[in-house]
Amino acid sequence: MSAKTEAHDRAGAFRRAELASFLRRKREATRPEDVGLPAGERRRTPGLRREEVAVLAHVGVSWYTWIEQGRELTMSVPVLEGIARALRLTAAENAYFREVAGVPLSPSDGEDLPPQGQQELLDSVQGRPAYSVDRYWTVMATNRMAEYVFGVRPGRNCLVDFFMEESVAQRFPDRAAVGRMLVAQFREHAARYAGDQRFADLIDELKENLPAFRCLWDAHIVGMHPHGDLVYDHPSLGHLTFSTAVLTPFGVHDVRVFVYIPADGTPTAALLDGVA
């Protein structure tokens, strides 16, 4: 079997498993009364039954059951849309659902190699922490301010450091929200590049060693993107508050540049001026 065939099979297996797990989770989280059904008193399982989802989605019960069992099936857009409506998926959840079903709402960007010049771009960002990450949340390049403020270094993985290093996570007062955001974005990238074995290896490592990551991963959280203010406690500078700008200046989803802008009405800018 060729390497290309193995990658294709691995991608298909990953997507089917993700799809089955995601649908089960959403079905169990959907209350009958949310979709106009009586709650009943003798439900053995939380949420909706499979046959109820099938009826609401206008698909066969056996067909829907096979999807949740992870069988290899070809699904049409109307079937996917019916299931999305039945489970009341949000826009972000529907985009993820379509991604793992193999029928994305828009074509995925298949480029792998980022262009050159990241370091020059980051160095041009004066007085603001800025760094770039790849699809795995591994730091690719950083400016001096980001190294000092956040301790990020090229080659370090933001997600791994956050969940494995208590000294990193404890600097975020709202560490629970930060953790959810990291896992949600990591999951969406894993779905986009389902044949990438490195994602599977990272997921297995984190789930095996870190119960907090495993809990968030099993919750199938999607649609959380960096937004609003990020509060960060620096050991020397003290309490910092940033607005986060996320850029894709190289035209590929693989590379994201994070620029942290001091929030208005806070002493953050003045504290950073002392570093610069």
Structure tokens at 176: 């629970």
- The model's pLDDT over 21-50, given as tens digits with 9 standing for 90+, comes to 999 999 999 888 888 777 666 767 778 999
Determine if the pTM surpasses 0.75.
no
Q: Indicate the SS3 state at residue 231.
A: strand
**Side chain identity at residue 52, one-letter code:** E
- The model's pLDDT over 163-196, given as tens digits with 9 standing for 90+, comes to 888 999 999 999 999 999 999 989 988 888 887 7
Q: What confidence score (pLDDT) does residue 92 get?
A: 83
Q: What confidence score (pLDDT) does residue 112 get?
A: 43
Which of these, 78, 80, 77, 92, lies nearest to 220 by C-alpha position? 92
How far are the Cα atoms of 21, 53, 136 from residue 132, in angstroms, in the given order? 31, 42, 11
Phi, psi of 97 (to 5 degrees): -55, -45
Which of these, 118, 121, 95, lies nearest to 222 by C-alpha position? 95
